[in-house]
Structures are given as C-alpha cells and as structure tokens.
Homo-oligomer: A and B are copies of this chain.
Amino acid sequence: MKKRPTILDVADKAGVSKSTVSLVLQNSPSVRQSTREDVNRAISDLGYVYNRSAAGLRGASSGLIGLIINDLRNPFFTEFAASAQMEFARKGYSTVIANTDEDPGNQAQVIGTMIEHGVSAFVISPAYGGGDNAFDRIEHAGIPTMQVLRQVDNRTGLFPFATHNYAAGGEMATHHLIDLGCRKIAFVGGLKDRPITNERMSGYRTVMTALGYSATTFHGRPSRAFGREMALTIASEHPEIEAAICFSDLVALGMLSGFAEAGVKVGEDFRLVGFDDIEESSLVYPRLSSIRCDTELFGQSAAQAMLTWIVDDIRPPDVKHHDVNLIERQSSVGPDHE
C-alpha cells in the first residue's frame, strides 16, 4: 500500500513550494489565481488528502468535538445527539461520540481519551455521581465544555448549562389536566432526589400546591418497564387517581401499554401527559399528549452555541432554558380529539 501524498508531493508536482500549497489549502488571499489553479490541479491529480493530525499539531483546531451522552439508546438523547452531530458536520466538524451508559467510570475514561485526541470542545450530557474529577480534568486541559440536559457540575461559569424549561412545561400540563376536570393527579417516574426529577416535577408541585390539591408521586426509573408496572399498580391499587404526568414519554408509553393490558381506557378513564414528545408519541394509539421539548432544534442550538464559542470566542450564557410547549392529544383530551 503506497503511502498517501503530502503537500510536498503536491508542491513538486505543481512546481511551487510547500508553503504555497499550504496557503492554497487555507484559501489565503495572497496567492495568485493561476498558481492556485496549478496547485489545485496537482492536488486532484495526486489524490492528495489533507492531514488534520499534522495540522492540529502546529496549532490549528483539531476540528473534533467530543459528544458524551449518558444514555444513547434512549430516543430522547439519540435525537439530541444525532441533531447536534449533524449540525457539527454541516460546519465541517467531526463528532467523537461516547455512550457512558450512566457510568461515571466510563465517562471519565472516554473524557481522558478524547482529551488525548485533542478535541476542540466537549458537549456533555453527564452521568450522575463520580465526583467532579472528570470535569476537573477538562478544566485543567482548558477545553470549552457545555453541559446539556443535565447539570452535574455547578460551576456553570466554567461549564455553561443548557436545557429545556421543564418547570414551565410541568405547569402547563398540570393546568391542562385541571382544566379537564381532574383533581387527583399523580406524577410518575424519575428517580427520587435527582435534580432532573425535581425540575420536571417542580411545575406540577407548584401548581398543585398553589391550588390546594395534594401531590402524589411515584418515583422510579424512567423506563417503559417502570411505566407499565405503575399503570398496573394504579389500576389495581389506586383507582381514585384520575390522571398522571409522566417524567418522560418512555414512562408514559409504558403506562399506555400497562393500561391497555389492564383494560383502562386512556383519554377517558384516565388522562395522561408525557414529557419530551418523542416521535413515537404522535403515532401510538391513543396518541400521547406530551410536553414537547423540541430536541432536534435544541441539539442544533447547542451545537451552534458551541461553535460560536470556539470559533468567535463568544461564550454561551451560564444557564439557558429553552422553551417547551404542550401538545394536546388523545391521551389527555380524549379519543375524539384529532
């Protein structure tokens, strides 16, 4: 296998020096048009490909973004990751990805390796636990880093945080269910005492308390399995409950199939609102009402914010809450709803 050509080969072929070739590669204005053409011809004749490692060594940015996700298999995070990656690609950046599977050990390991690769930035939806040493290493390496969707390190001056405005979403959903006549409303899913759980629950809590209704919560893993289980439990042991707001669509979809199994008609006997509005939610039956966090847009915005940080040196705000809105569908409004 013959080794690939370098700018030196290109320079020879084009009859110029390698500096000139380098200038052409960078679209420098200070090179004559005819020379540029000679060089470009040589480049395509030789099938030359740019070597970013060598460039990175000399100071240029590596063009690599580290994207670290706590649970890549969860469609909510998949959507975010895919969207951010594509936005980076559009701007010529490559994305090094890692799924940590909620394991701080994995997280620390991949962060270390990515630093070795010289990533220009990190976008992290972090795993909980494991202390701040991973973030400390990033700080030490001086790499621009955003926390997204989960805030684990509270130095937001150092690691800006971007997420959805969950509290507002919870309030909207609660008002919606109350407007439909529900009084006994539960909140289902989300591990106890997790910041994200508290945040997603806060709107519900606020409204229920303000109106003097009692709040009931069923904590648990934000999974389909837990949702299904809780639907069966509620159907058999808490028949007085009229409605639920779920920690995530995954939980709500689990409840949907649990209720189907138990013979409870969702949208009539029980009203349900999810959280995230993943694609699937508009396609199940009954269609799931959900607090829509436009994750595709969010992923794009996060990627853009990071790019303006590393390209134009404009930091994102310490904390940014993206708007959410409530999508009313059959699972709360009833089966006649379109």
Contact = CB atoms under 8 A, between A and B. Distances in A.
A309 to B, nearest CB: 14
A63 interface: yes
A47 interface: yes
Contacts of A253: 280, 284
A257 B285 contact: yes
- How many identical subunits does the complex contain? 2
B99 A96 contact: no
A284 B285 CA distance: 11
Contacts of A154: none
Contacts of A81: 72
Contacts of A260: 260, 285
A31 interface: no
A118 interface: yes
Given A89-B110, A225-B283, A260-B285, A118 B78 contact: no
Given A63-B117, A82-B99, A257-B285, A73 B75 contact: yes
A73 B78 contact: yes
B1 A142 contact: yes
A43 to B, nearest CB: 13
Interface string A64-90: 100100001101001101100110010
Interface of A: 1, 4, 47, 49-54, 56-57, 62-64, 67, 72-73, 75, 78-79, 81-82, 85-86, 89, 92, 94-99, 101, 106, 109-110, 112-118, 140-142, 224-225, 228, 253-254, 257-258, 260-261, 279-280, 283-285
Given A72-B81, A78-B78, 15 more contacts: A47-B140, A51-B57, A53-B57, A54-B57, A63-B113, A73-B79, A85-B97, A86-B101, A89-B106, A89-B113, A92-B113, A94-B96, A254-B283, A257-B284, A261-B285
The 9 tightest CB contacts between A and B, nearest first, are: A257-B285, A53-B53, A224-B283, A260-B285, A97-B97, A261-B285, A1-B142, A72-B82, A53-B56
